[in-house]
Chain A
Amino acid sequence: MSSRRWNAIFFVLLLIACMAGSVFFLQRVDQLRSGATLGEVLYIPSPKVLKRLSLGYSGLLADIYWTRAVQYFGGKHHEGAEHFDLLAPLLEITTTLDPQLVVAYQYGANFLAPKPPNGAGQPQRAIDLVEFGIRHNPNDWKLYYEEGFIYYTELKDYARAANAFARGSRVPNAHPFLKLLAGRMAEQAGSIETARLMWTAAYQTTQDKAIRANALAHLRALQVDEDVTTLEGLAARYKDQTGQFPSSFSQMESAGFMRGVPLDPLGRPYRLLPDGRVQVVSPDDFPFIERGTPPGYKPPATPKFLPSD
């Protein structure tokens, strides 16, 4: 074999060895600088500057920033973070780069508005984002719906929610739900029925699995809240009649207060406590419930959505 060939073999082997070595040490560097990867940094925070720098390729850049916003929110949400500092700037950059990217307003507002750890806890920025979207996409009824939804669920500003739904209902091809919601919001905004209608609308107006699961979880929570209120009322009435709380639902059934043992939305019986309070067996399966939890119960950082959702 010629010396030239030996040389070639030597350099090929050296190249492979160096490549393996460099990957090894790069992994060690990454371990030391674990926070650096996709960390809390916006190289160019100004949307306008970024748009100019994009040299006309703003659509592609918007897609990249939207992906980054989704990954950022997903990562933070997964770790149960309390702060989502870069979320609003990322969404603002995305929508400035491509104001027609409706999906960024819809989902972005849903990321921004809810309280941590379900969202960034920035409902006003969510409203600003959707308003920006409405200015650029005035004929998209989903944006009015999002705005009304945030006013209703997060800000409890029913008048503005009604206004947003009403504006949306006048858009061509708007979902019929909007007119219904606008009317309901004006008449009985705080009722459980209105809340049920809102979450039913949320479920029906999207194909996204995560949003549907969230809507279903809220609908179940509303059902539990309603059930617990009713059952505790019945237990109180039982006490008024007999002088003591019932020891079981069967006892209430025998006394003619109900038919059968009441079941929660997942088909499991409610638990009746000696002091007349009613609890669900597994509160973790019902994120967002306000009643029926044990004293001092703390819900998990990340809401548990059931596989069936």
Chain B
Amino acid sequence: MTSRIRWIAANTFREAVRDRVLYNLIAFAVLMSGAAILVGQISIDIERLVVVNLGLTAVSLFGVIIAIFVGIGLVSKEIEKRTLYTVLSRPVRRWEFIVGKFFGLAGTLAVNTFFMAIGVFAAVLYVSRHFQKADGWILVALYFIVLQFVILTSLALLFSSFSSPLLSAVFAFSLFVIGSFSEDLRGFAGMTHGVTSWLATGAAYLVPNFSALNVITSVAHEQPVAGHLIFYNTAYALLYATMVLCGAVLVFQRRNLK
């Protein structure tokens, strides 16, 4: 079972690399080096701040775009190319296929983020001339960004399991936007009463919570991130992604592929 999931995940990773997904690293490198050089010349005393903000934002946005646009094709593309039939004709269960695909794309994004992280730290080193203790929090911000990707990948995969790529992209991107405002949503839900309150609270908890996973600004200001938040965010992201994956598996298992 594990080897089959690993095999599908490795193939997904290989396919993403073959699709030149990692080429975004070049754009990222250009962006970071350009920003690092330019910001020192056009601003005063916010070089590190700008580089951290810009770097982490770019890591997040590049990853979100990849997660959505690669994720939405993970299942539908296999059906379109008819390669899915070849895979499923072997002793591979449908849920293994979904889980393998998930790990493949999540792995691709983790590798991508790893290289981008090197770029961010190189740019920080360039503008600050040295590392400081507070730079360690950048790693936490990067970790949270990876958790965002994990959730988003599972969502893209869920939509890909039953919808067309275009609609899947729209759904996944919409949920990303909604999830970025989820704290406000829960705040508004808390102000309602009666049945409306139940419905609003339910909806607010059902959408993914991306806002707590975004600590870019505080990290840029060298503010620490609470250990509890790291633990809760990790638990939340993994549970939420597993929940969505279960949904994807259930949908995919019932799908008629004939």
Contacts and interface: CB of A to CB of B under 8 A. Distances in A.
Contacts of A7: 93, 95, 249, 253
Interface string A33-44: 100111000000
A43 to B, nearest CB: 9
The DSSP consensus for interface residues of chain B is helix
Interface in A1-51: 4, 7-8, 11-12, 14-15, 18-19, 21-23, 25-26, 28-30, 32-33, 36-38
B183 A25 contact: no
Interface string B215-258: 00000000000101100110110011011001101100100000
B186 A37 contact: yes
Contacts of B44: none
B219 to A, nearest CB: 14
Interface in B131-160: none
Given A15-B247, A36-B183, A22 B239 contact: yes
A18 B209 contact: no
A295 B240 CA distance: 60
A71 interface: yes
B183 A11 contact: no
Contacts of B229: 29, 32-33
A93 to B, nearest CB: 15
A12 B239 contact: no
B191 interface: yes
Contact of A28 (B228, B246, B250): B228
Nearest to A18: B243
Given A8-B250, A8-B253, A21-B239, A37 B233 contact: no
A132 to B, nearest CB: 27
B205 interface: yes
Given A7-B95, A11-B95, A25-B236, A36 B211 contact: yes
Contact of A22 (B184, B211, B240): B240
A20 to B, nearest CB: 9
Contacts of B253: 4, 7-8, 11
Contact of A29 (B95, B191, B233): B233
Interface string B195-211: 00000000001000101
B31 to A, nearest CB: 23
A25 B211 CA distance: 14
Contacts, number: 77
Contacts of A30: 183, 186, 212
Nearest to B209: A26
A8 B93 CA distance: 12
A64 to B, nearest CB: 10
B187 interface: yes
A242 B54 CA distance: 84
A19 B202 CA distance: 11
B93 A26 contact: no
Contacts of A21: 235, 239
A298 B240 CA distance: 51
A11 B228 contact: no
Given A28-B228, A32-B229, A14 B212 contact: no
Nearest to A14: B246
A15 B250 CA distance: 10
B245 to A, nearest CB: 9
A37 B228 contact: no
Contact of B243 (A15, A28, A71): A15
Interface in A239-281: none
Contact of A37 (B95, B184, B226): B184
Contact of A33 (B183, B184, B236, B247): B183
Interface of A: 4, 7-8, 11-12, 14-15, 18-19, 21-23, 25-26, 28-30, 32-33, 36-38, 71
Interface of B: 93, 95, 183-184, 186-188, 190-191, 205, 209, 211-212, 226, 228-229, 232-233, 235-236, 239-240, 242-243, 246-247, 249-250, 253
Given A36-B183, A38-B187, 14 more contacts: A7-B253, A11-B95, A11-B246, A15-B243, A15-B250, A25-B232, A25-B239, A26-B209, A28-B232, A29-B209, A29-B232, A33-B183, A38-B183, A38-B184
